[in-house]
Chain A
Amino acid sequence: MTDILDLSVLEAHNAKVAGELSPQEHVEAWFAAAASDELNAYLWRNDRGAGAAAIEVEQDWNAPIAVKDIFCTEGVQTTAGSRILEGYRPPYTATAVQQLIAAGLPILGKTNMDEFAMGSSNENSAYGPVLNPWDRERVPGGSSGGSAAVVAGGLAPWAIGTDTGGSIRQPAAFCGIVGLKPTYGAISRYGMIAFASSLDQCGPLTRTVSDAALLLAMLQGRDPLDSTSVGIEGGVSLPDREDLSGLRFGVPAELARDSVDAGVREVFERTLQKIEELGGEIAEVSLPNAEHGISAYYVIAPAEASSNLARYDGVRYGMRAGGEGDLIEMYETTRSEGFGPEVKRRIMLGTYALSSGYYEAYYGQAQKVRTRIAQDFDGAFAEVDFVVTPTAPSVAFKLGEKSDDPLAMYLNDFFTVPMSLAGIPAISIPAGLAAPEGGGPQLPVGFQIAAPAFAEQRLLDAAYALEQGIGFEARPGGGSGG
């Protein structure tokens, strides 16, 4: 049983094809594993005996999957981590989830997340924080913290999440797994509860780069129900590149003065050496506007959120609160009681940034910074094939460490936000372990690789070659070193 759970999805598939593993045994092992969640990572688990609550599975072929609770699932509670949607059962299923079901993937459960995907630690969930499987006193990252924790903690072989400013890549880094944010438009957003519509993108959280490619191949495509979806031309196939010869990796010159923990910087430098050992070339590039990414992002994302979240008003679905008062009182009470502090903070920031007299100074200016950041990347990709950075400036921090300081929490997204603003794909792969500042057991460090829009195949090929070269095999709970 333990052996089955050690296999990546691709390895398990190969074992099934070779007749060494029964598909039924594989699925059962994962359902049993999911039931042992002690990390508060699942908000709903698919108890197949429950019948009515179970999601229909069209064929029982592949590895079961965990789905972030931001994706609508017909008849199954979908909360987006918010009290305001407690008990909400959507009347339809998100296209991304429908694609997985159509591919024969049983749904293991819905994973915990920061409320409406707003957060970098999963501490903003109305249903309690997720614990990091490497150290239960630490956060798993966010907002797809549950999806990262189930994959790292052996509670699911793979998962999907969403990334608006780093919400797949940063938790993947904190939990020592692979996380891919595809190009904006690669995967349908239909049925994916909206946070910031011009940035939100679905993507895989997996143990290996190959598994990320497998999932992306199932998820990508144009969807008539999402007019901004375009898919990936030519599709996606399994990566098989063995070295990095002929490829140029750009390191932003600005990184030298950025605030990065010593341990993270050391793993990053070591990974650059590994790239050179594999035949790749390291070059310096300049992203002079990237330092303004956080400022632009924390105008644009809250502005879009303030509009998107206007729909939670206690009328058509979700929670309604308020007594005998009038309609306005009902709206106010419902939203006051239904939303948590971070969501309220962002609705207020966004409303302010869009208000008459401030619009140009905030929203207009942020959209221009966004253009500049995209141009920075265009310039860099004229010189190099990929841009690389640490995924996050630190390893996983302690629960409560940043929860009283929203700005410190926002700055954790420093390296992931610029790619989101530019709409380009970026992957985080585990690159090594480092001790947290202030001491403690070693924790995973992520290495981020970004590529031009829709260059997912090249990105996955390079990430695969680097993954093989790094040979990261460490597991939570004192597994083998790597």
Chain B
Amino acid sequence: MVGELSGILGHVDRIGNLDLEGVEPTSHVVALENVLRADEPWQSLPRDVALASAPEPQDGAFRVPSPQAE
């Protein structure tokens, strides 16, 4: 995979040499102002539904292994 990644980066590097001084970057193509909605409470997923797909739900929460090895 190292060789593959180098090959891809080699191709991508071509844009590194382009003179793009003063060109505005594009992060989003459609001109949109901030989209706001009314600040009203709205339905959200019930807790049991949100937990239904969790690998290890416990006591209404997501259980994960300890962040620190014992």
Contacts and interface: CB of A to CB of B under 8 A. Distances in A.
Contacts of B60: none
Interface string A220-237: 000010011010000000
A326 B68 contact: yes
Contact of B25 (A298, A330, A345, A367): A367
A327 B53 contact: no
A442 B12 CA distance: 34
A450 interface: no
A345 B55 contact: no
A34 interface: no
Contacts, number: 137
Contact of A369 (B8, B9, B15, B56): B15
A283 to B, nearest CB: 25
A61 interface: no
Given A320-B56, A326-B67, A370-B25, A91 B1 contact: no
A319 interface: yes
A425 to B, nearest CB: 12
Nearest to B49: A91
Interface in B16-70: 16, 18, 20, 23-30, 32, 35, 37, 45, 49-50, 52-56, 62, 64-70
B66 A369 contact: no
A348 B37 CA distance: 36
Contacts of A224: 37
A372 B5 contact: no
Interface stretch (A63-71, A310-318, A466-474): A310-318
Contacts of B15: 292, 295-296, 299, 365-366, 369
A365 B30 contact: no
B66 A326 contact: yes
Contacts of B24: 368, 371
A256 B32 CA distance: 37
B30 A345 contact: no
A369 B53 contact: no
Contacts of B29: 184-185, 198, 374, 421-423, 453
A361 interface: yes
A405 B56 CA distance: 39
Interface residues of B, number: 41
A367 B54 CA distance: 37
B28 to A, nearest CB: 6
A163 to B, nearest CB: 14
Contact of B20 (A89, A362, A372, A406): A372
Interface residues of A, number: 59
Interface in A397-416: 405-407, 410
Contacts of A481: none
Contact of B65 (A294, A327, A362, A423): A327
Nearest to A222: B35
Contacts of B1: 341, 344-345
Given A315-B54, A330-B64, A364-B25, A349 B8 contact: yes
A326 B65 contact: yes
A343 B9 CA distance: 16
Given A345-B5, A349-B5, A368-B20, A230 B32 contact: yes
Interface in A333-359: 341, 344-345, 348-349, 352
Given A184-B29, A320-B55, A406-B8, A369 B18 contact: yes
Given A314-B55, A316-B62, A345-B1, A407 B27 contact: no
Contact of B69 (A299, A325, A369): A325
Given A295-B15, A325-B69, A316 B54 contact: yes
B14 A330 contact: no
B18 A292 contact: yes
Contacts of B65: 322, 325-327, 329-330
Nearest to A362: B12
A44 interface: no
A99 to B, nearest CB: 19
Nearest to B29: A423
Contacts of B9: 349, 352
Contacts of A406: 4, 7-8
A298 B8 contact: yes
Given A185-B30, A292-B14, A326-B67, 18 more contacts: A89-B52, A185-B32, A292-B18, A295-B11, A295-B14, A315-B64, A320-B56, A322-B65, A326-B65, A326-B66, A329-B65, A341-B1, A345-B5, A348-B5, A372-B20, A372-B23, A407-B8, A407-B11
Interface of B: 1, 4-5, 7-9, 11-16, 18, 20, 23-30, 32, 35, 37, 45, 49-50, 52-56, 62, 64-70
Please give me the 6 A-B residue pairs with the lowest Cβ-Cβ distance, nearest first: A423-B29, A367-B25, A317-B53, A320-B55, A227-B35, A368-B20
